[in-house]
Structure 1
Amino acid sequence: MTHRTDARRADLLAAALAAAGRGWHVHPLRPGGKAPALHGEHACPRSGPCAGGHVKWEQRATTDPDRIRAAWTTGPYNVGIATGPSGLIVIDLDVHKDEKDKGSSDAPCGATSFSALCERAGQPWPTTYTVRTPSGGMHLYFSVRPGIELHNSARTLAPYVDTRAWGGNVVAAGSITPQGVYEAVNRYPVAELPAWLMRELQRPAPTPVAMAPLVVPGAATRRATVALDRETAAVRGTGEGGRNNRLLEGARALGRFVAWGEIARDVVEEAFQAAGEAAGLAPGECRATIRSALDWSIRTCRPRDAA
């Protein structure tokens, strides 16, 4: 093993211990990546911690220094933070693809969307612990009081603004990908989630307007089936860095067929869940993204006759 690998492993171990020292539950991510390094349900050996049944990464994440040292001394794992068990909600301000690829400052991004959201609410940009991602995005960390259970969301607050809570995971400061380093740029104490943001996140989605089905219950039209096959194949074929966005776009594209009664929602959800996990996304992240995308698409799609 080279000195460079030893040094990187030591730095990542230090990052994991530092996060755990803040009370955040950590788990190893693949070296140089963002996906959990712990085995998934399909590869579960049903032994050790999983002797009584598969235990997911969210439940295995820990603050125990001994367990952390035992894991991170075996390899240069990036550091994941299980946001739910850590009492955190992290607001993920993404960067538009054009900005990532071309360095354009004119393209919309999560930071400008979130700034506009603050402006509309008459509130300042919150001061809290902040991590800059290698793509130029930001993670804003907030604490949530015990007993309040929030879940992931995908662009329901604003364009290019996602949240990570129960079922979610963020890459901790100090982790390294081929694009660069996750860096803590504001080391302020983690602020409690502002009440106005809590209200936005707990706002119920409008009830979709029921539309007359085009086909008999349980069946699906050919065009809906073709669209589902095409979109799920695209999700499975998307590499790291664009998987969640592709999953969001694909599920949104199918939402209109669900609203029009051309395909059952559970069929769409199951197909995209399998495609997202096959692409390497965490199960909880897939569920939250699919649910958010379908809710939005069903709520906003035009009537079938006007499409």
Structure 2
Amino acid sequence: MATTDRRTATLALAHALSAAEHGLPVIPLSATKLPALRSPHRDEDPSSGCRGACGRPGHGVHDATTDPIAIRALFAAAPWATGYGIACGRAPHHLIGIDLDIDAAGRTDSVAALRQLAMQHLFTLPPTVTVLTPSGGRHLWLSGPPGVAVPNSAGRLAPGIDIRGSGGYLVGPGSVTAHGIYRLVPGTGSLPPAPCPSALLHLLTPPARPRHHHLDPDGTHSAHGHPDQGRGLVQFVLAADEGQRNTRLFWAACRAYENGFGDALADALTRAAVGTGLPEHEARATIASAARLTHTRCEPPR
């Protein structure tokens, strides 16, 4: 192994051990941001479903630990590791990661989307650990309450916002990847993960089982040439809880107009929103707002 590679691996281990000292369970990652150790069951029946009970390393996030002896053993087994992952949803912090992506084409402003959600749902994000990603995005670390499992998701909360929850992991600061280094925002490294605001936690946790509403066939197939995608957007709106109705409708309308069938799907989206309890005039105003904005880029109205 080259001297530079050895130094990178040594630093990755040091950062991982430091994170573990603060109660954060870690695993070694390769430069691709994937777990560095291959599954010991890769040649076995994939339905075995082992999550580390066999005692061998290579179970991804299920290997995550705060035990320094175990961490050193994991990194010794993966000397090519250049970084480390931090398991989310685990005690004592029950970490929740808010991943704000940056769209190089400028079509998505995830920071503005999060700000709009905060305004709509009346919550404030407290100062917390913040990590800069090589692409220019940000990871915000929040702590959740025990007994609440926050699922992983990509773009469900809003365009460009991914969530790392139970069963997921965040790339730790100091990790070196093929695209660059993850770095702490100055002044945030000494902060503990701030408690997730209750209103935001409500948005992140699984919604109640969707109520079944009947839409006529024209309602879900009116997206010319895109029946499946149109149906999916309608179902996305139908699954909205009370606090999510307008946000979900706006996001779905943006997707429809970006793909060229917004006008065709507008009535179906309106009926879906009304079915969840949103007034028709408010639903149509939200869809009209999405139509106006998507000719340049889709972002929540300010």
TM range (shorter): 0.5 to 0.7
**Structure 1 residue 109: deviation in Å?**
2.1
Q: Provide the rounded CA distance (Å) in 1 between the counterparts of 2:130 and 2:24.
A: 15
**Structure 1 residue 197: deviation in Å?**
0.8
Aligned to 2:88: 83
**Structure 1 residue 212: deviation in Å?**
7.2
Change (3 A) 1:91 1:44: farther
Specify the code of the residue in structure 2 equivalent to 1:33.
T
Q: 8 Å contact 1:58–1:85 — kept in the other structure?
A: no
Change (3 A) 1:190 1:50: closer
Equivalent residue in structure 1 for 2:202, among 199, 204, 226: 199
Aligned to 2:278: none
Specify the code of the residue in structure 1 equivalent to 2:37.
L
Aligned to 2:18: 18
Change (3 A) 1:83 1:254: farther
Q: 8 Å contact 1:44–1:50 — kept in the other structure?
A: no
2:103 pairs with 1:96: yes
Q: Secondary structure at the match of 1:7?
A: helix
Aligned to 2:296: none
Kindly report which structure 2 residues correspond to 1:133-172, keeping only aligned pairs within 5 A, or say none: 133-172=133-172
Change (3 A) 1:259 1:14: closer
Figure out how many residues of one structure are paired with residues of the other and give that number.
Answer: 231
**Structure 1 residue 258: deviation in Å?**
7.0
2:180 pairs with 1:180: yes
Q: Provide the rounded CA distance (Å) in 2 between the counterparts of 1:39 and 1:207.
A: 42
Q: Provide the rounded CA distance (Å) in 1 between the counterparts of 2:230 and 2:123.
A: 35
Deviations 1:74-97 (A, max 9, x none): 414121112122511111111113
Q: Provide the rounded CA distance (Å) in 1 between the counterparts of 2:134 and 2:19.
A: 19
**Structure 1 residue 184: deviation in Å?**
1.1
Q: 8 Å contact 1:9–1:75 — kept in the other structure?
A: yes
**Structure 1 residue 110: deviation in Å?**
1.5
Aligned to 1:279: none
Aligned to 1:38: 37
Q: Provide the rounded CA distance (Å) in 1 between the counterparts of 2:181 and 2:137.
A: 12
**Structure 1 residue 55: deviation in Å?**
7.5
Change (3 A) 1:119 1:258: closer
Q: Secondary structure at the match of 1:37?
A: coil
Q: 8 Å contact 1:113–1:159 — kept in the other structure?
A: yes
2:193 pairs with 1:190: yes
Q: 8 Å contact 1:93–1:160 — kept in the other structure?
A: yes
Structure 1, unaligned stretches of length 5 or more?
100-106, 215-223, 228-252, 261-291
Q: Provide the rounded CA distance (Å) in 2 between the counterparts of 1:21 and 1:79.
A: 14
Q: Provide the rounded CA distance (Å) in 2 between the counterparts of 1:4 and 1:54.
A: 26
Deviations 1:194-245 (A, max 9, x none): 112112223726535345789xxxxxxxxx9xx9xxxxxxxxxxxxxxxxxx
Change (3 A) 1:142 1:13: same
RMSD between aligned residues: 4.0
Change (3 A) 1:4 1:195: same
Specify the code of the residue in structure 2 equivalent to 1:131.
V
Q: Provide the rounded CA distance (Å) in 1 between the counterparts of 2:53 and 2:43.
A: 7
Q: 8 Å contact 2:122–2:199 — kept in the other structure?
A: no
Q: Provide the rounded CA distance (Å) in 1 between the counterparts of 2:55 and 2:217.
A: 44
**Structure 1 residue 28: deviation in Å?**
1.7
Q: Provide the rounded CA distance (Å) in 1 between the counterparts of 2:166 and 2:122.
A: 28
Q: Secondary structure at the match of 2:105?
A: helix
Q: Provide the rounded CA distance (Å) in 2 between the counterparts of 1:37 and 1:50.
A: 19
Q: Provide the rounded CA distance (Å) in 2 between the counterparts of 1:81 and 1:95.
A: 21
**Structure 1 residue 124: deviation in Å?**
3.4
**Structure 1 residue 172: deviation in Å?**
0.7
Q: 8 Å contact 2:99–2:162 — kept in the other structure?
A: yes
Q: Provide the rounded CA distance (Å) in 1 between the counterparts of 2:155 and 2:171.
A: 19
Deviations 1:174-196 (A, max 9, x none): 11123211011122211111112
Q: Percent identity, aligned pairs only?
A: 35
Kindly report which structure 2 residues correspond to 1:1-307, keeping only aligned pairs within 5 A, or say none: 1-30=1-30, 32-40=31-39, 43=42, 51=54, 56-73=59-76, 74-77=78-81, 78-86=83-91, 87-99=94-106, 107-185=107-185, 186-187=188-189, 188-202=191-205, 204=207, 206-207=210-211, 209-210=213-214, 254-256=228-230
TM-score (norm: length of structure 2): 0.63
Q: Provide the rounded CA distance (Å) in 1 between the counterparts of 2:56 and 2:13.
A: 28
